[in-house]
Amino acid sequence: MAIILFDIDDTLFPSTDFSSLARKNALNAMIRQGLETDYEKLDKELQLIIKEKGSNYQKHFDELCSRLNIKNPVRYIAAAIAAYHDTKTSIQPFPKVPFILLKLKEKGHHLYVATTGSSIKQWDKLIRLGIGLYFDGVFVTEEKKDEEFYRQILEKLGSKPSDCIMIGDREDTDITPAKNIGITTIRILKGKHIETPSDADYVIKNMKELLIILLKPSTQ
């Protein structure tokens, strides 16, 4: 029986793909509301805004309308936000994820999320992915996921590093700091960081391989 910590974005679901689709759907919704601007022009300017302001900036579409001198922008902003949110709330897990998580629960493992951001947003994702019931808790940090973050998780759970496994797609935040304090690490090759070399204990392409790793003596 192990404690298994999961990153969410690009580990449990293809977040990069959904973000990109959400932006595309938002721009198309503006055009559907009658905006007479080419998709390519909107897309180019939006990419620049994301680059400058970051992807968590709240006023992307306001800024887009302002930069392109769009008159009476509220209807287009409303259309963009609605389409963006609708895409972001229709997220689906990587196909094998729900089945594998259920198998892990059946084997008595305890599942937690360890990620950045607000806990309400992370629970929202788990619930929308249809896997909320499999998780005992969510650990979040507003800062970087560093050794201290993982140390605090172990402390809160009253666990030793050797009882614990961390799975994620990012070497710098999911693997390195967890490994440094003795947690078994599994790097999953998904999303935009797929090419980064890994120093993790295990490297997997697919969540299904997790079951095989957990059968090995050292992590049982």
Contact residues for a copy of itself, defined by CB under 8 A: 29, 33-34, 72, 74-75, 77-79, 81-82, 85-86, 89, 119-121, 123-124, 126-128, 132-133, 137-138
By CB atoms closer than 10 A (0-12, 13-18, 19+), residue 131 is buried
The distance in angstroms from the start CA to the end CA of the chain is 6
Report in angstroms how near the CB of residue 182 gets to a copy of itself at its nearest: 27
Report in angstroms how near the CB of residue 113 gets to a copy of itself at its nearest: 11
By CB atoms closer than 10 A (0-12, 13-18, 19+), residue 21 is middle
Q: Which is nearer to a copy of itself, 44 or 85 (CB)?
A: 85
Report in angstroms how near the CB of residue 2 gets to a copy of itself at its nearest: 22
Q: Are the C-beta atoms of 167 and 7 separated by less than 8 Å?
A: yes
Q: At how many degrees (to 10) do helices 74-88 and 15-32 cross?
A: 150
Report in angstroms how near the CB of residue 140 gets to a copy of itself at its nearest: 10
> H helices then E strands: how many in the chain?
9, 6
Report in angstroms how near the CB of residue 193 gets to a copy of itself at its nearest: 26
Q: Which is nearer to a copy of itself, 80 or 183 (CB)?
A: 80
Q: Are the C-beta atoms of 26 and 83 separated by less than 8 Å?
A: yes
CA gyration radius for the chain?
Answer: 20
Q: Which is nearer to a copy of itself, 61 or 202 (CB)?
A: 61
Q: Which is nearer to a copy of itself, 124 or 171 (CB)?
A: 124
Which tokens is 161 given?
Answer: 């590093």
Round to whole Å and give the CA distance between 55 and 45. Answer: 14
Q: Which is nearer to a copy of itself, 82 or 203 (CB)?
A: 82
Report in angstroms how near the CB of residue 206 gets to a copy of itself at its nearest: 27
Q: Which is nearer to a copy of itself, 105 or 208 (CB)?
A: 105
